[in-house]
Every structure is written in structure tokens, then in C-alpha cells.
Structure 1
Amino acid sequence: MTRQPGDLFEHTFINSYFRGEKGWMKGCYLQIIFVSLSLSLSNSYCFADEKTMESLIQENEDLKRKLMELKRQIRENQNTPGDNQMTPPLVISIKKEGMDKTENNQEGDYLPEQYRGTEQSSKIPKINDPEYDLRSSSRRLIFKEEFDRSAIRGDGEKQIENKDQNGGENNKMKGEAATDKKINDKNKNTNENEEQNQSGSKNDAESKEMSEKKEENKTEEKKEENMFRDNEETVVTPTRTKQLLRNTGSSVTVITEKDIKNGKAPLLLDVLRQAPGLEVTRTQGIGGTTSMFIRGASSAQTLVFVDGVQMNSTTTGAFDFANLTTDNIERIEILRGPQSTLYGSDAMGGVVSIFTKKGQGENKVTLGTEYGMRDTYRESVSVSGGKERFDYSVGGSYLKTHGISAAHSGDENDAYENFTGSARLGWNFMDDGRIDTTVRGSHSDFETDAYLYGVGPVDDPDRRQTTDEVLFSTRVNKTFFDFWTPSVLVSVNDTELKGFDPTDASGEFRIPTRVWRFEHQSDFALLDIDTLTVGYEYEAREGENDGVFDKKTFWNNSVFLQNQIKLFDSLNWTAGLRYDDYSTFGNNLTYRTTVSYNIDEIDTRFHGSWGTGFRAPSINELFFPFYGNPNLGPEKSKGWDFGVEKEILKDTLTLDVTYFENDFTDLITAAIQPDGSFLAENVARAESEGIETSLTYKPFPKLSLTGTYTYTKTEDREKGQQLPRRPRNRATLGVNTRPMEKWNVNVVGVMVRDRIDSDGTEMDNYWTANVSTSYDITKMMTGYIRLENLFDYHYEEVTGFSSLGFTAYGGFEFKF
């Protein structure tokens, strides 16, 4: 019959009791150890989650062996002599944390200290003792000691001896016990040495493992630091290479895709208005001629690019922002100050570089529809996606409005419509090679009014104007030998401007223009701290005015050189020069240097630049009848700036203050000749100076405020008066907040004061506020409302021309 655990205990207890007092005590003691070890074995599973699997298995195997040994001892004890029989002394080796203890229990002291009482009765450990309590925070197992039973000996035979023989046997057993103790001590020392060796090996392994973990942690920290740096804002325009914005010595403003989306504006000119040091003026409502001034420079002295395509007109020298929509645009970089060293002609006041979207991720489709006051509606669509090798982004839009009268005194509405399509295709090859191709086309048609000298704009219901524009660019770049990255760019800009007026011949015209460029650039990473850029450009400009002058063409060859040096992880210095050779006026040399110094300990950055710029005469200035002069030279400028950027509150409040000066010489103006006619000559001079400030405050993750203020003092040195349409004081305030996860609110305010027109008369001071708010109705649908000129402020942005009053729009976007 199979015995139960209780039967075994009862059997051993009764047999021990009838064999005498000492036999009972020994049996009881062995039984307690047996039960305790059983509890230890069971409890070891209770805390398996706090042990490694290997240590748990090893510990349980040890406990099993000890249980088997104790079972054998219990069975032998059942056959031991009675009261007069002496048993060998019990030697117990106890190991605890921080303590090794061996007790030799002689003369009947068979229990360890914690089990002995005055009557040598058995005890169990106290339940509330933290060393033995299962609920204590130490989580140690009960009876977690190593019992060394090697000193216990039994021959397994029944001995029936008398009391006289017991004495000798006892003496003999005492001698054996002494011998066993020596053996046990020796075994203990051997075990301790082995344990020390094992412990040493274990410590070495743990030390090695800790070192490896430290190295892994350092590697992870470096990766996180690199990821953080990768996530930092970078710019391309200041050096024509990718560079961290905080390391740039030039004054640059970045407008991101997020900024464009928050404003919901369909035209890019409304996005540009918030930038410091920049003034945008429009001659009427949507579709009117739009000019931009940077630091007092004219619109013809500011160079504009779209994906490397030069946008400035070959006939006027300026770029009209009226028809440039926000479709498929991802980023805008506005670079202030003379930039001809890298970009050549027209970059006297600065450079505006516009980048279209690069497709990425899964295929995405976005549809948009909008309707607003003055019977304005807009439809848009965009499709994008990208994989490892190929990416694409395609978009298109149609905008139409009944508009307002261009003439401030008029009452007939001048309508406007615009269709724009854009595509960017990219192909990655040979690991780090890439081909980028951009195609963008637009057609605009808007009604305009006639202009009478001395009167200004007047209503003309039959006059209209169209603009057709096609852009194309392809760039190829590839890195060789890990230090040389050459790139080639080919770009073309074809634009045709037409005028229609069946009742007035002055309103009939056709002006086709073309700019095409070939550009090679090589970047050499000579050292970790040094990057050398060498480039060559060939540019051809063509222009024609039907019935006024025939097709005219001039070209230019140029080379440029720039060196970027980074020292001490805080100082960034660039220096460069450029040589241009024009077919019209000859050669020209420009140069520029910038510096940026970061003091991370006080979260402060100093930045500054000094350079020169020039502008080649336009085709109108060279060849327009009764004005043009083929002997014109280039306009020239020198400028410098110095600024301090301070992070007042970490990642919360940042202030940037920059002082600038520009000196413009050999400016082209209409000089009165002795016969009373006008002729373009390089006789004018002008200067500008001022302060640009910007403040960014982000008190909460879902709230940001951006404020700018620009003071610009300009002077026409010939006339001794302020340059026209350049405000002396200009301020902007932008607020973006997300009160709810699905709700976004964007507010932009603009204030303009102290301007004069070309005839010296004062122009209107004005301020406006635009609000846009959007709500994610579902994951696929977003609704929005846009309010322009919220307080219906009446003003003339350009004297004699109307500006839009309060206007409300609403729309939806669908994403698939």
C-alpha cells in the first residue's frame, strides 16, 4: 500500500517516541528538517519570477538530493537503539548571506542555535522574522541554508549492545566524530575555495557583462544623440550644402510644410508675409502684381528659386508672386543679405528658395474643396508615395474668384482664375546616388484695369491678362570615395505674358521669356571639419516683346568656390568667392564670409556675415525703346549683419536680434537727358540699415507664439528720401494652438507703418488679422474655416489699388 506523507510522519514519530527520549528528539528534529526542506522546494516555485531559470533548477536539484538523504536518515532512525543508545554528533554547516557558521553539536545538542531552547525542544522559525518570512521584501526562501550532512554516518545495521558496551562505542564514536570534523573542515575549505573560484569567475563574467552593457548604453546614447541631431532643423540655401540651422552664420528664416498647412492659404505670398525683414505688396485683390522687398532691396534684387529653377523675369528682373500657389510645396528658406557669391546676379538683397514635396511611404491621395465669399472656390488633388528606389509627388489645383475692382475708385469686379499642376519624381540608385526631376506648370487669367498717369488705376471692363509658365529641372548627384559628391543640374523656365484689350491697343502685348541653366557642383569632405565646394554655371537669358523689340539673348559663365570649417564643435566659419563673365557688361567678382559661434553653456549663439552682391541689367533696361541702354553695368551692393540668438527658457522661449546694413551703388534709374528724354544709367545710390527681431515662445506642447519686429531705415542718396514702399516699422504675430487633439487654430497678425510711394506721398498704415481653424471630423476627413482681414480694415496696400476687406472661406479635405 502506498504511504501518504502524513503516514510517514506518524510512523516515524511513533517509532521515535517508543525508542526513548533522545531517539524521539532526533526523529522529531529530522522530521522538522524534512518538512522544512519540503516547504523550501515548494516555495522556490512561488518566487521563480525573481530568479534566473538556471539558478532555480540548480537550487531545486540540491533540495531534492537533500530530501532523499533525509528520507534515508529517517528510515535508518526508525531502526536505531533505545534510550541508552548514543548517536553520532550532528555537524551542521550553515551558510547565510555575509556569514559562514559551522556548529559542532555535542552532548545531545543536536539542533542549531535558532532551534534550541532551555529544554532543547524543537522550534520553528518566527513567521515575522524578515529573513524567513515569505511576505518580506527580501523574498528569501525559508531555510535557505546549505546543510552539510557528510559528517553523519550510519552503518545501517541493527546493534543490540548493553550499557557497558555503549560506553566504549560512545568513545569510539566521539573519536570518529572528531576525525569526521577534520574531514568536514577540509571538505569545507575545499568547497569554500571552489566557491571562491566560482565566485571569482562569476564576478569576472558579471564585470565583463556590465562593461558590455555600458558600451551598449554608450552606443545607444550616441545613436539617440545622432537621431536628435538628425531631427534638428537643417537648411541648404546658405551654403548650397546640408547644414544645421544652428550652425549657420547667415540670417535665414524657414517656413515648413506645417506652417503652410496651418494657414490654409492657397497663395504663397500670404505665407511669406510673416517672415522678418520682408515686405510683400500686391496691387489689387487675388491676381494683382505682387512684389517682395528684403532689407530695403527691390523685388528685382531678390533672387527666387523653385527646386533650382530661377524664377526672376529676364525682362523686368523681378519675380511676380501673384500666381505661385502652395500646391505641392514642402518648404521655403528665406536668406537675407548679399548672396551673389553662391547664386550670382539678382541676389543683392537675399534669396528665396522653394522646395516641392518629396513622396514617401505608402500611396496617399488628398482631395480638397473650398468655397468662400465673392464666389470664390478652389479644388485640389495630390497623390504621393515612395519606396526604397522610387518616389513621386503629384498635385494640381484650380482656383477661381469674382474678386474686387483693381481700382480703388472703381465698382466693377475683376475676376481671377488659376490652374496649377506640379510633379516631382525621384529615383535612388547605387546606394547614395539620386536623380530628382521637377515639372511645374501654371495658367492664370485675370481681369485688370487701365492705368492713367497722374490719375492711377481706372475701371476697364475689357482688359485682361494671362500668364503661362512651365518649369523643368533635373538634378543628379552621387558620392564617390566617401569624400567627393558631384551634382549636375539642368533647369528651364519658360514664361509667356499676354495682354488683351479689344478697345485699347495699349492693353495688347505678348512677352515670352526663357531662362535655362546648366550647373555643376562638387563638394569635397576633406576632413571631418572641412568641406570644400567648387562649382561652375552657365546661364542663358532670352526675352522678347512683340511689336516693341525682337528676341534678345545674353549669357554668363561663372565659377565659384567656398570653404566651410567647423572648429571645437562650436565655431562654424565659411568663406567664398565668385567670378562671373557676362556677354553684356563683362566680368564681376563677389565674395562673402559668415561665422556662427555657439556657447552651449549659456544657450547662446552669435552669428554674422559680410559680403557683396550684384545684379546684371535686365533686357528691358538694355533694349527697351527710349529707355534702354546697352552700355549699362551691374548694380552692386555691400552688406553685413551681426546677431545674437538666446534661448531664454530651455525649449520654450527663444529670442533672436540682428542688426544689418546694406550699401547699394550704381543703381539703374531713368536719368533725364539734355533733350528731355529718359535713359537708363548707373547713377543712383541707396542705403538701408535696421534691426530684425524674432521671438518664439512655446509654453505648452500644443501652444506656440511667434512674434517678429523689423525696423528698416532706407534712404535714396540722390533724392534724400526714404525708398518707396519699404515700411520703416513692421511687426507680425503668429499664434498656433491645438485645444483638442482634432482641433487646430492658427492666427496671424501683420502691422505695417511709415511708408511712402514713389512720388513721395505717404501711404496707408494698416494692420490685419487672419484666422484659420480646422477640425478632424474623421481620420479621412477634415473641415476648416479661413477668415481674412478679420476686422474688415480698409486700406490701400499700394496707393490707388484696392485691398480685400473681410473674407470668409470654408472647405474640406479628404485623405485616402
Structure 2
Amino acid sequence: MKIRRFPVATVLAGVTFVSSVPAVLATELEPIIVTATRTAQTVDESLSAVTVIEREEIERLQPAQFADLLRNRAGISVADTGPFGKTTGVFLRGTNSDHTLLLVDGVRMGAATVGGASWQFLSPSEIERIEIVRGPRASVYGADAIGGVIQVFTRKGAEGPPRFNAYSRIGSFNTREAGAGVQGGDAHTRYSLSATHQATDGINVRDEVGDDDRDGFRNTSVASQLSHRFDNGLELFGNLLRSQGRTEFDGFEDETDFVHQALRAGVRGDLTETWHSELTIGQSRDEHDNFGQGQFSSRFDTRRDMADWRNDLMLGESLLWTVGLDWQQDRVESSVDFDETRRYNRAVYQVLQAELGRHDLQGSLRHDDNEAYGGNTTGQVAWGFRLTENLQSRASYGTAFKAPTFNELYWPGDGNPDLDPEKSETFEAGLRYVHQALYWDAALFQTDVRKLISGWPPVNIDEARIRGLELETGWHLADWHGAAALTLLDAEDRDTGNELARRPRASLRLDLDRQIGDFSVGGTVLARGRSFDYDWMGNAERLAGHALLNLRASWQLAPQWSLRATLDNITDKDYQTAAGFNQPGRAAYLSVHFQQ
């Protein structure tokens, strides 16, 4: 099988994806991913552990919040300080929550002050698909991709007359939500525009802290995409995702006004028959204005400007070389007088993909030069061998690093400007089977992280070792859709021997749905083993394991109208994923949808 080159423009604007369970393949067309190598490849060509969540699956699962789409997926544990807009940590392969890189349509997201991304402000209704790539990707994307990369793609236009969609949802905790959108285009121009507003009274997230009132959340999101392809094949494109609202909390600061935004524009096209080039500029914003008792308390705003020039060169039928230049500048505006308020990062990267008979080879190398903490070179090599037409083995080794934050480097009086980046190396071996509507993947991995930043003032002293097994499968048989994921994890602080916080040793996810004429019914089981959390003194608190059952149903009232309902945590289980922070009990939601 020869290497296939799918220009990103084709992937985002013209390919119809038919899979609806994680990486399950239909009989004729396989899901295409772009996150693992920055170039388009089918799932079976990837030498990474990947999960793909399509729009069809998002609509079937009817998630109350974005984190619900990620919970207990292979290699993922989610810990949040309450539902609906509260701080959410995504732990990928047992690494820290700020070791997972979030991309939105190719734009790097996150707060440069505290590190990590604001997952809680993403609206599921604006998302077309999600690609989860597990394992280090610093040699492709730079800092922070130690555990992996999660990329969110917003809705896109397609050739045809305007197609409208709208929905309205109500439910427990006085939840109200509504949204509408339109997509369309012709042979040259494609567009998409959608907006969503969500409001909820929420729950009281902390007992005996702050007041006993519910801690609400409201969020207004807008997403848009526009592209135009000229007769010579050159394409101009742009996309925007913006969320803005307020979230309430129990603590000294009990309200936060936020802005979460990704903006990107660029040009791409084939310069020759063997040379595809893409030039983009982008900006992300992560802004938080905090209030206590109605009075302004603090402000932490990150603006990240970036530019990227990527070139894909076909060197024969079986060799693809990607080389690019990457520039980024972080700027911080805050009520805290940081010693420094900006830093730049320059990088050069390359990815080489080759196919030699039954052997697939990949290698990537990247050098980052950062104004604050110097140069870092990362690399990754991977080998795949096709045991049969449907069964592939793989093995890889990769290095990665995590950048120190502005808080750690420049906090007035306590920052440590001499901090080094956190460093990691990962070994992985896996097997993947793909045949028509059946898919399974198994991966064994070990990640060693050194120079972990801890303490205050912060220093590079800690080390961690993480070992794990991931099993994932999905199938689509007749009217049945199913998926399962199991993760076994041993994540240890090498200095203390303690388990790493908020990471269960075992987690399980089961999804099962059936279509019965105009009706569909389904359910999800989420099981999570016990874990530990630690207070600021290092004292351990055990978090009990738990299992949740969520049920769902939908009814196609007419060709363009459907009625959907969910019942989450049907057993009204009392549980926590972070010590001291409550999670919702039994909750019901009802929605009506229009899809042209």
C-alpha cells in the first residue's frame, strides 16, 4: 500500500466521514486523521494510538458538557472541580493535566500563567469531530505534548445549498440551552456559522466552603469557518471559535468572567505536483476576570500569537517529507505585576514517513528556541509492521518537554527564572486490527518524566514513572453501535513512592446503542477505580472508586425533526474526581432538534 497524501484542505472541506464510534471503519471509507503527523492519513496508516469522535457520535451521546465526551476514553481520566464551567483537568496516559496539548482547528490553546487548557469552556454543539492522539507529540507541536494531543475541529461547510440546524434543551439544575447554525457552499466557496447559549444554576460544588447556593454557569459560543478555492487550486481559509460567559464557584473568588477564543487564517495549495504548502497565522485568548463578593479581585489574560509554514514534499511514491517553521509569542496581562509579561518561541520541525513493503516508518525531529528557557530538541521514531492485511503491530520511542509557566518563572518575589522545562521519554508497543465495521487497538507504554516542577518557590526536583495498558474496541453491526475502552495505569512519584494525584489505577467505558426504526436507545457505563488526592501539605485523601450509568433515547419525529432525552447518573451515585468537590447526582435532559 502506497503512502496517500490528502491535502488538509481536502480533509477539512471535502471528505465525508462515515464512522460514528471511536475509529470504527465503514466498509469503504476509513476515518482520516491529521493530528498525529500534521498530514492526513487513515487510521490504519497511523503509527499512534488514536481515537476519533465524529459528529454523529456526539449527537448520539448527547453530552451535558465537553468533558463528558472524554471521560474514561482509552488512556484518559478527567478530574473536575464540579460540573458546568468549573476547572477541568484532562490526564492523558497518567501525565499531568498540563501535559496534554489542546488544539482548536490547529490553534494552540491554554493559559500561559497557570499552564493547561480551559477544557470547561468548550461547547459540544460547536464541534464537528475530535481527534485524540496518545503519546508524545512535542517533536511535531513543541512544548506541552508529553501525554498527547487532543484536537477539536469546529463545524465546516460543504458544497450544496444552505442547510440549517437548530436545537433547544432543558433539564436538571434549571439548565437551558439553545443553538442554531447554517452550513453550505459551492465548488469554490464553503461556509459555516453557528451559535449556542447555555445557562444553568448548577450545583453547590463545595460543602462548608463559601455559601450553600448553587454555583451556576452561562456560556455563549460562536463558531465560523470560511474558505475559497481559486481555479488554480490555491485556497484561502479562516475559522473562529469564541466562548464568553461567567462561572460561579465556592471560595475567596467566587465568580469568573471568561473569554476563550481561537482565531486562524491562512492560504494553502499545491505549488507543484509533489509540493503542498500551507501558511497560517493564528491567535488564541484565555482571559479570566475574577470577583469575590461582587468586587473585582484579579485578572489573568493570555494572548498567544502564532504563525506556521508547513510544506509536504512527496519524494517518490512511498516517501513523504514534511518540514516547517513555527513561531509563537505569549503575552500576559494581569493584575499581578509579573517580572516579565511576554516571551517568544521559534521552531523548525520535520516529519518523515516511509512505506517499505509491509514496513511503515516514521521519524520526527524538532528544535524549539524559547526566549525564557532556551533551546530544546525533541524527536520520535516509530515502526509499524503489517502482520496481515488487517492486523498491524507498532513500536515507538519519543521525547517531549513541558514549558514552565509565567507563574512559575515570574511570579513577583517567588518565581524562579532559572527553571528548566520538564522532560520526558516514552516507549510504546501496540497492535491494531481493522476490518470493515470492527476495530480494536491495544497499547503498552512507559513514560518517564524528570525535572518535574514542584514546591513554592518552584524547583525542578521531582520525577515520575508511568506504566500503562490501553485496550479499545468499536463495532457497528446492523442496527447496533458499540464501543469499549479499558485503561490500567501505574503512575508513581519516584521521589515519594506515592501514586500521582487524581489518576485511577483502572478505568472502563462501555457505550452501546441500537436503532429501532425511528427510535434509538442506548447507554454508557463509566467505571473508575479508586485514586488519591493530596492537599498542599502533601497529605493523602482517598477518592473512592465508582460506576455511573447514563441512559439516552431519541425519536425521529419527522425527516427534519427529532426529540432526544438523557438520564445521567441514573443510580444517583455520590462521587468525586477531585477531593472536596461535588459532582451532580441524577440528572435528566430533554431536547428538540431541527436538521435540514
The offset of 1:381, in angstroms, is: 0.4
Residue 598 (structure 1) aligned with residue 386 (structure 2) = yes
The residue identity in structure 2 corresponding to 1:784 is R
* Alpha-carbon distance in structure 2 between the residues aligned to 1:486 and 1:495: 29
**Offset from partner CA, 1:130-159 (integer Å, 9 cap, x none):** xxxxxxxxxxxxxxxxxxxxxxxxxxxxxx
Equivalence for 2:367: 579
| Match of residue 542, structure 1, among 313, 327, 331 | 331
Equivalence for 1:761: 541
* Alpha-carbon distance in structure 2 between the residues aligned to 1:580 and 1:651: 41
Gaps of 5+ in 1: 1-226, 452-459, 671-677
Equivalence for 1:780: 560
Equivalence for 2:171: 372
Equivalence for 2:256: 465
The offset of 1:374, in angstroms, is: 1.7
The 5 A counterparts of 1:732-751 are 732-740=509-517, 742-751=518-527
The offset of 1:739, in angstroms, is: 1.6
> SS of 2:502's equivalent?
coil
| Match of residue 462, structure 2, among 678, 684, 697 | 684
* Alpha-carbon distance in structure 1 between the residues aligned to 2:333 and 2:28: 47
* Alpha-carbon distance in structure 2 between the residues aligned to 1:466 and 1:746: 36
> SS of 2:349's equivalent?
strand
> SS of 1:584's equivalent?
coil
The residue identity in structure 2 corresponding to 1:496 is E
Residue 532 (structure 1) aligned with residue 312 (structure 2) = no
The offset of 1:431, in angstroms, is: 4.5
Rate the CA distance shift 1:727–1:445 in 2: closer, same or farther, 3 A: same
* Alpha-carbon distance in structure 2 between the residues aligned to 1:515 and 1:403: 31
> SS of 1:346's equivalent?
coil
> SS of 1:415's equivalent?
strand
* Alpha-carbon distance in structure 1 between the residues aligned to 2:323 and 2:231: 24
Residue 516 (structure 1) aligned with residue 305 (structure 2) = yes
* Alpha-carbon distance in structure 2 between the residues aligned to 1:284 and 1:494: 23
The 5 A counterparts of 1:269-418 are 269-360=67-158, 361-409=160-208, 411-418=212-219
Larger displacement relative to structure 2 (529-538 or 592-601) = 592-601
Equivalence for 1:430: 231
Equivalence for 2:573: 793
Paired residues of 2:470 and 2:488 also in contact (CA < 8 A): yes
Equivalence for 1:58: none
Equivalence for 2:443: 658
Paired residues of 1:623 and 1:629 also in contact (CA < 8 A): yes
Greater RCO structure (CA 8 Å; 6+ sep):
2
* Alpha-carbon distance in structure 1 between the residues aligned to 2:26 and 2:260: 40
Residue 620 (structure 1) aligned with residue 400 (structure 2) = no
Gaps of 5+ in 2: 1-24
Equivalence for 2:497: 720
The offset of 1:618, in angstroms, is: 0.9
* Alpha-carbon distance in structure 2 between the residues aligned to 1:408 and 1:702: 45
Moved beyond 4 Å, runs of 4+: 227-230
**Offset from partner CA, 1:178-225 (integer Å, 9 cap, x none):** xxxxxxxxxxxxxxxxxxxxxxxxxxxxxxxxxxxxxxxxxxxxxxxx
> SS of 2:461's equivalent?
strand
Residue 251 (structure 1) aligned with residue 251 (structure 2) = no
Residue 263 (structure 1) aligned with residue 52 (structure 2) = no
* Alpha-carbon distance in structure 2 between the residues aligned to 1:781 and 1:697: 27
The answer to which structure has the higher helix fraction is: 1
**Offset from partner CA, 1:708-746 (integer Å, 9 cap, x none):** 110010110111111000110111101121022x21223
The offset of 1:274, in angstroms, is: 4.3
Equivalence for 2:426: 639
The residue identity in structure 2 corresponding to 1:328 is E
* Alpha-carbon distance in structure 1 between the residues aligned to 2:72 and 2:228: 35
The offset of 1:266, in angstroms, is: 4.5
The offset of 1:551, in angstroms, is: 6.0
Residue 704 (structure 1) aligned with residue 505 (structure 2) = no
The residue identity in structure 1 corresponding to 2:580 is G
* Alpha-carbon distance in structure 2 between the residues aligned to 1:787 and 1:436: 40
Equivalence for 1:52: none
Rate the CA distance shift 1:627–1:550 in 2: closer, same or farther, 3 A: closer
* Alpha-carbon distance in structure 2 between the residues aligned to 1:599 and 1:592: 23
* CA radius of gyration, larger in: 1
The offset of 1:653, in angstroms, is: 4.5
Rate the CA distance shift 1:707–1:230 in 2: closer, same or farther, 3 A: closer
* Alpha-carbon distance in structure 2 between the residues aligned to 1:434 and 1:292: 35
* Alpha-carbon distance in structure 2 between the residues aligned to 1:645 and 1:408: 46
**Offset from partner CA, 1:239-259 (integer Å, 9 cap, x none):** 111111101111111111111
Equivalence for 1:567: 356
Paired residues of 1:724 and 1:756 also in contact (CA < 8 A): yes
The residue identity in structure 2 corresponding to 1:292 is V
The offset of 1:433, in angstroms, is: 2.4
The residue identity in structure 2 corresponding to 1:631 is D
Paired residues of 1:599 and 1:605 also in contact (CA < 8 A): yes
**Offset from partner CA, 1:34-69 (integer Å, 9 cap, x none):** xxxxxxxxxxxxxxxxxxxxxxxxxxxxxxxxxxxx
Paired residues of 2:573 and 2:586 also in contact (CA < 8 A): yes
Q: TM-score, normalised by structure 2?
A: 0.92
The offset of 1:229, in angstroms, is: 9.2
* Alpha-carbon distance in structure 2 between the residues aligned to 1:253 and 1:264: 18
* Alpha-carbon distance in structure 1 between the residues aligned to 2:510 and 2:440: 14
The offset of 1:627, in angstroms, is: 3.1
> SS of 2:203's equivalent?
coil
- For the aligned residue pairs, the C-alpha RMSD in angstroms reads 1.8
Paired residues of 1:274 and 1:748 also in contact (CA < 8 A): no
Equivalence for 2:273: 482
Paired residues of 1:534 and 1:561 also in contact (CA < 8 A): yes
Rate the CA distance shift 1:229–1:574 in 2: closer, same or farther, 3 A: farther
Q: TM-score, normalised by structure 1?
A: 0.67
* Alpha-carbon distance in structure 1 between the residues aligned to 2:246 and 2:272: 51
| Match of residue 693, structure 1, among 471, 489, 493 | 471
The answer to which structure has the higher strand fraction is: 2
The offset of 1:411, in angstroms, is: 3.2
The offset of 1:304, in angstroms, is: 0.6
Aligned residue-pair number: 565
Equivalence for 2:13: none
Rate the CA distance shift 1:551–1:627 in 2: closer, same or farther, 3 A: closer
Paired residues of 1:445 and 1:467 also in contact (CA < 8 A): yes
Paired residues of 2:110 and 2:286 also in contact (CA < 8 A): no
* Alpha-carbon distance in structure 2 between the residues aligned to 1:668 and 1:623: 14
Paired residues of 2:400 and 2:424 also in contact (CA < 8 A): yes
The offset of 1:276, in angstroms, is: 0.4
